[in-house]
């Protein structure tokens, strides 16, 4: 955890964008350095800003339920956001804020080397597929460079519009199968790009 701790310390003292002026606490991320799955959300909200931890509000409770539904505990996965400080009033992150935080997220990906990256919402999807529409690609594993990206709607979407709850639950249920397929490919040494069409 030395590398992550060092990164967290850097984020704690970051002044690269305007958000450091209004934050209570930065929210770097949390989870084991050897996590197989990384979940990337958008930005910290009110409760996250207060506690310095990701996904601890209502959306976080739903995320915990979703993880439990596929036999995972929060402590087994890595959870972070595209930006590490709360935008005032929970507004959308601005382009320059996302750019200022991008190196931190890149380093988290390098340190953890997750087998699967689950993007939660359109802002984290845009990190990997800037032109993709989440409604069109959600629930489909996609190879981007050396990363397998799995776009899912943000858990908060289900809180604002209950009609999305079932879609999010269904997409989460596919995660164990995707991991199983990735494990098989690794063992067989087959091309992930070629095999992804089998999901």
The per-residue pLDDT for range 112-121, each reduced to its tens digit, is 999 999 999 9
pLDDT in tens, 46-75: 999 999 999 999 999 999 999 999 999 999
Q: What H or E segment, with its residue span, contains residue 142?
A: strand 142-144
Intra-chain end-to-end CA distance of the chain, in Å:
33
Whether residue 199 has pLDDT greater than 90: no
Q: At what angle do helices 165-173 and 58-69 cross, to 10 degrees?
A: 40
Tokens of 62: 């739903």
Q: At what angle do helices 95-112 and 2-12 cross, to 10 degrees?
A: 170
- What angle is formed at CA 147 by the lines to CA 145 and CA 150, rounded to 5 degrees? 120
Q: Using the 8-state DSSP alphabet, how is residue 77 labeled? A: S
% of the chain with per-residue pLDDT over 90? 87
The structural domains of the chain, ordered by start, are 2-173 (3.40.470.10)
Phi-psi region of 37 (alpha: psi -120 to 50; beta: other; left: phi over 0): beta
The label of the residue with tokens 């996590």 reads 35
Which positions ≥6 away from 158 have C-beta within 8 Å? 62, 164, 165, 168
Structure confidence at residue 195 as a pLDDT band (50, 70, 90): very low
Please give the Cα distance from 45 to 152 (Å, whole number).
19
pLDDT for the residue numbered 153:
96
Residues in the chain: 199
Contact between residue 102 and residue 25 where contact means Cβ atoms under 8 Å apart: no
- The predicted model scores a pTM of 0.93
pLDDT for the residue numbered 82:
98
Please give the Cα distance from 189 to 45 (Å, whole number).
41
Calculate the CA 170 to chain-centre distance: 18
The mean predicted confidence, pLDDT, of the chain is: 93
Tokens of 49: 């800003």
């Amino acid at each position: 955890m030395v590398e992550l701790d060092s990164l967290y310390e850097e984020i704690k003292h970051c002044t690269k964008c305007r958000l450091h002026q209004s934050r209570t606490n930065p929210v770097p991320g949390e989870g084991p350095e050897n996590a197989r799955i990384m979940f990337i959300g958008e930005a910290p909200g009110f409760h996250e800003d207060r506690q310095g931890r990701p996904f601890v509000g209502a959306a976080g409770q739903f995320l915990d339920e979703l993880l439990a539904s596929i036999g995972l505990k929060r402590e087994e996965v890595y959870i972070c956001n595209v930006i590490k400080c709360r935008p005032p009033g929970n507004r959308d992150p601005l382009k320059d804020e996302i750019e200022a935080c991008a190196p931190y997220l890149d380093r988290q990906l390098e340190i953890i080397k997750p087998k699967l990256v689950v993007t939660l919402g359109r802002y984290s999807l845009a990190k990997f597929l800037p032109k993709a529409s989440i409604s069109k690609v959600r629930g489909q594993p996609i190879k981007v460079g050396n990363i397998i990206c799995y776009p899912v709607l943000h858990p908060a979407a289900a809180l604002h519009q209950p009609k999305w709850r079932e879609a999010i639950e269904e997409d989460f249920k596919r995660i164990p199968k995707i991991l199983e397929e990735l494990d098989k490919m690794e063992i067989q040494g087959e091309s992930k790009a070629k095999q992804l069409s089998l999901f």
